[in-house]
């Protein structure tokens, strides 16, 4: 009887306990995999949001740069205009015979404004715009890559299945496409 009891316990162990443990392990793995799939999808959404934020930041930088450049250029243009007016006044005084007054006026201008800077400001502003546009292009490319990775991830099997089990709603993101109108530039050379 004792031997039959041991055999019965072994059979129960082999035919009931081990399959139940295996089934529980498979169910546990599937549940963990579904949580992992959802967490990865959320991480990819955050990556897209971060890339979009970078674009917004650079666009704001471009607006700020433009406003600052306009202010600086207007200020230096006024400065140069005043400088040229003073030089013209000095020339008028020189022609009228007041050479001493012309020399004094010209020396005041040269001492106060040893270098006319508007051209340098234009050049610097153009460099800053170029840097900003390059950074914007990089942020846009990063955004499109993040969208591509997300779309690819949520459509793959078994991720798609796990996400639907979890009730995860797949977000629709569109790629950013920027087309440059070169017709104006082309028309300049005709």
In sequence order, which residues have a C-beta less than 8 Å from that of residue 141 and are 6 or more positions away?
none
Share of the chain above pLDDT 90, in %: 26
Q: How large is the C-alpha radius of gyration of the chain?
A: 37
118 band by pLDDT with thresholds 50, 70 and 90: low
Report how far apart, in Å, the C-alpha atoms of 121 and of each of 26, 72, 126, 167, 174 are: 68, 8, 8, 56, 38
pLDDT single digits (tens) 67-115:
877 777 677 777 777 777 777 777 676 667 665 665 666 566 655 555 5
pLDDT single digits (tens) 136-179:
899 999 999 999 999 999 999 998 888 888 888 989 999 988 76
Which range (3-7, 15-19, 142-146) has the least confidence? Answer: 3-7
Confidence check: pLDDT of 39 > 80 = yes
DSSP 179: -
Evaluate whether 47 touches 96 at the Cβ level (below 8 Å). no
Determine how many CB atoms are found less than 10 A away from the CB of residue 44. 20
């Amino acid at each position: 009887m004792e031997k039959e009891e041991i055999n019965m316990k072994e059979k129960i162990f082999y035919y009931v306990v081990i399959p139940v443990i295996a089934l529980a392990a498979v169910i546990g793995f599937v549940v963990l995999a579904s949580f992992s799939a959802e967490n990865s999808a959320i991480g990819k959404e955050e990556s897209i949001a971060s890339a979009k934020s970078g674009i917004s930041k650079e666009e704001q930088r471009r607006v700020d740069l433009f406003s600052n450049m306009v202010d600086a250029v207007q200020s230096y243009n006024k400065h140069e205009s005043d400088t040229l007016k003073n030089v013209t006044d000095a020339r008028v005084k020189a022609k009228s015979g007041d050479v001493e007054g012309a020399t004094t006026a010209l020396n005041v201008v040269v001492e106060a404004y040893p270098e006319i800077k508007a051209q340098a400001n234009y050049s610097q502003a153009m460099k800053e715009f170029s840097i900003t546009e390059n950074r914007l292009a990089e942020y846009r490319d990063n955004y499109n890559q993040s969208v591509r990775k997300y779309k690819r991830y949520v459509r793959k099997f078994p991720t798609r299945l796990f996400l639907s089990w979890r009730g995860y709603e797949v977000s629709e993101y569109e790629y950013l496409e920027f087309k440059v109108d070169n017709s104006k530039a082309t028309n300049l050379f005709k």
